[in-house]
């Protein structure tokens, strides 16, 4: 294999996104992948949350995903749906799209960026601390000789479901197609072994729940997942950086794993690129752990809570009903929906304006060259200084080679998910990942420091 400045171990969603980010910054990057190709055994993740769609929109590729999936309200907490249609974002919804399609579309983008992928190669792994599994589930794509009970079933063992892989969302409801492969999920009586599950294991688990296996046959995939929760204590060990499932694993409830991994990649990509390109010292990489470790720690915490709430017991049922009732109230609904959709992520960049460390909204700007969306400015994964005050009022000439400076007007409100309206800033410095690194008050106080911290010395 040729030498490369950065080698990404694993071409799953996280590795693909990271490679794309690095390639945009003209870093010589390659992916080393255990699989021979992009084909994925089993459909795994069911889609994308709002913030991930935004992040893809920041690179100009959200439409590729939206055109293939089903837009729907997908955010939920322990099974209680959380509507985000009133959120201040261009994408106040999630997207139903199986992981194999997400990976295929990402791989297409990475291919356009000419990143080499070396298949059938392995890198050695890492061990993480965390919580051992208490329950396990079989998930499979199969055919059935008999018609099953479609939908979700709960009983003393836990949650189980039958659905078809192909579906449409009509009036917010999932409507399965009449034919095609069946996706089944069944909770096992005891935590299963780490060996690969067989058709016989699946048949026995189905009989334990439904009293029949519905003539299950022709599986295209059978796998086991658990409620094990683990997180690496450090995301960085010198030149090795962990992201995605290599850094954190947890139960799929809430659908946050792939989303968190893709967003890890977008946080890490530009920082790593600047270190490789020698515009920033390698201490910039420590901010990756500082910012992303707490995000996944919160995901682990909320999945542990959800798994506990989904247990079958009269007391837990009473607790679940109580939480569900709380979540019908507007303020709790907004807070939890912002958490589950990833729209409330706040990196601790110090005291200051509420926008500091939060995602930049995709505003419609008026510029001397016409109307422009903020996210369009981020397509090349470069930092942007957006001056909304006096034109030419901020001079960043020493950083002109790496920071795009734009004068613009914006007359509308500044509204953040869960927080509501915030004071309009005079200027904002936006990082390539779409988070705000500095907020101007009409002067340039703190701007040079912020530029140096995030984008290197002039």
Binding site for ligand FAD (CB under 6 A): 9-15, 32-35, 44-47, 99, 122-123, 125, 139, 225, 244-245, 252, 255-259, 261
Query: Residue 200 is encoded by which pair of tokens?
Result: 């016989």
Specify the residue, 305 or 404, whose C-beta has the smaller distance to ligand FAD.
305
Q: Are strands 29-32 and 117-118 parallel, antiparallel or unpaired?
A: parallel
Specify the residue, 126 or 150, whose C-beta has the smaller distance to ligand FAD.
126
Count of Cβ atoms closer than 10 Å to residue 11 Cβ = 25
The distance of closest approach from Cβ of residue 122 to ligand FAD in the complex, given in angstroms and rounded to an integer, is 4
The distance of closest approach from Cβ of residue 426 to ligand FAD in the complex, given in angstroms and rounded to an integer, is 37
The distance of closest approach from Cβ of residue 340 to ligand FAD in the complex, given in angstroms and rounded to an integer, is 11
* 73: nearest Cα among 100, 98, 44, 50: 50
The distance of closest approach from Cβ of residue 202 to ligand FAD in the complex, given in angstroms and rounded to an integer, is 14
Specify the residue, 137 or 414, whose C-beta has the smaller distance to ligand FAD.
137
Rounded CA-CA distance 366/368 in Å is 7
Q: Is the C-alpha dihedral spanning 380, 290, 242, 416 positive or negative?
A: negative
Rounded CA-CA distance 453/445 in Å is 14
The distance of closest approach from Cβ of residue 34 to ligand FAD in the complex, given in angstroms and rounded to an integer, is 4
The distance of closest approach from Cβ of residue 337 to ligand FAD in the complex, given in angstroms and rounded to an integer, is 16
User: Hey, is 400 helix, strand or coil?
Assistant: coil
Specify the residue, 11 or 383, whose C-beta has the smaller distance to ligand FAD.
11
Specify the residue, 18 or 396, whose C-beta has the smaller distance to ligand FAD.
18
* 454: nearest Cα among 437, 442, 441, 435: 437
Specify the residue, 12 or 434, whose C-beta has the smaller distance to ligand FAD.
12
User: C-alpha distances in angstroms, 257 versus 20, 129, 209, 210, 392?
Assistant: 19, 17, 28, 30, 43
The distance of closest approach from Cβ of residue 44 to ligand FAD in the complex, given in angstroms and rounded to an integer, is 4
Give the containing element (helix H, strand E) for 343.
Answer: none
Nearest residue to ligand FAD on Cβ basis: 12
Rounded CA-CA distance 48/38 in Å is 19
The distance of closest approach from Cβ of residue 300 to ligand FAD in the complex, given in angstroms and rounded to an integer, is 12
Specify the residue, 95 or 437, whose C-beta has the smaller distance to ligand FAD.
95
Specify the residue, 99 or 387, whose C-beta has the smaller distance to ligand FAD.
99
Rounded CA-CA distance 441/192 in Å is 58
The distance of closest approach from Cβ of residue 276 to ligand FAD in the complex, given in angstroms and rounded to an integer, is 21
First CA to last CA across the chain, in angstroms? 36
Specify the residue, 66 or 374, whose C-beta has the smaller distance to ligand FAD.
66
* 188: nearest Cα among 146, 140, 220: 140
Rounded CA-CA distance 91/69 in Å is 14
Rounded CA-CA distance 170/124 in Å is 45
Specify the residue, 249 or 327, whose C-beta has the smaller distance to ligand FAD.
249
DSSP state of 120: S
The distance of closest approach from Cβ of residue 268 to ligand FAD in the complex, given in angstroms and rounded to an integer, is 12
Q: How many residues does the chain have?
A: 458
* 454: nearest Cα among 273, 292, 293: 273
The distance of closest approach from Cβ of residue 354 to ligand FAD in the complex, given in angstroms and rounded to an integer, is 27
Specify the residue, 223 or 376, whose C-beta has the smaller distance to ligand FAD.
223
What are 130's strand-pairing partners? 230
Rounded CA-CA distance 47/27 in Å is 29
* Exposed e or buried b per residue across 348-378, where buried means at least 16 C-beta atoms within 10 angstroms of its C-beta: ebeeebbbbbbbbbbbebeeeeeeeebbebb
């Amino acid at each position: 294999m040729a030498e490369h400045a950065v080698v990404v171990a694993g071409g799953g969603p996280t590795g693909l996104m990271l490679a794309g980010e690095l390639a945009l910054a003209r870093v010589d990057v390659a992916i080393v992948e255990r699989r021979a190709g992009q084909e994925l055994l089993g459909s795994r993740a069911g889609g994308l949350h709002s913030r991930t769609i935004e992040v893809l929109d920041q690179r100009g590729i959200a439409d590729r995903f939206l055109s293939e999936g089903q837009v729907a309200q997908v955010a939920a907490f322990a099974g209680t749906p959380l509507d985000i249609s009133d959120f201040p974002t261009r994408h106040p919804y999630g997207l139903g799209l199986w992981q194999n399609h997400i990976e295929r579309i990402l791989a297409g983008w990475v291919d356009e960026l000419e990143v080499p992928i070396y298949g059938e190669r392995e890198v050695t792994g890492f061990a993480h601390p965390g919580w051992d599994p208490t329950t396990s589930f079989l998930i499979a794509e199969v055919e059935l000789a008999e018609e099953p009970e479609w939908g979700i079933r709960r009983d003393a063992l836990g949650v189980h479901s039958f659905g078809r892989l192909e579906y449409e969302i009509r009036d917010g409801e999932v409507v399965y197609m009449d034919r095609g492969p069946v996706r089944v999920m069944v909770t096992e009586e005891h935590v299963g072994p780490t060996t690969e599950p067989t058709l016989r294991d699946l048949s026995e688990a189905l009989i334990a729940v439904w009293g029949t296996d519905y003539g299950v046959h022709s599986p295209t995939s059978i796998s086991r997942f658990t409620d094990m929760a683990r997180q690496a204590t450090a995301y960085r060990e010198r030149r090795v950086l962990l992201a995605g499932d290599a850094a954190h694993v947890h139960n799929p409830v809430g659908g946050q794993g792939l989303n968190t991994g893709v967003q890890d990649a977008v946080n890490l990509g530009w920082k790593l690129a600047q270190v490789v390109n020698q515009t920033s010292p390698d201490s910039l990489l420590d901010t990756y752990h500082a910012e992303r470790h707490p995000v996944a720690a919160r995901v682990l915490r909320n999945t542990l809570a959800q798994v506990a709430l989904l247990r079958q017991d009269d007391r837990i049922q009473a607790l679940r009903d109580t939480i569900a009732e709380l979540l019908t109230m507007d303020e709790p609904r907004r807070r939890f929906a912002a958490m589950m959709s990833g729209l409330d992520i706040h990196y601790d960049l110090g005291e200051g304006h509420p926008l500091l460390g939060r995602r930049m909204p995709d505003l419609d700007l008026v510029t001397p060259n016409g109307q422009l969306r903020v996210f369009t400015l981020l397509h090349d994964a470069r930092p942007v200084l957006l001056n909304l005050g006096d034109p030419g009022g901020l001079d960043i000439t020493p950083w002109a080679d790496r920071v795009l400076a734009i004068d613009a007007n914006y007359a509308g409100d500044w509204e953040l998910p869960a927080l509501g309206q915030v004071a309009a800033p005079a200027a904002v410095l936006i990082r390539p990942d779409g988070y705000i690194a500095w907020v101007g008050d009409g002067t340039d106080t703190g701007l040079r420091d912020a530029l140096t911290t995030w984008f290197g010395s002039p």
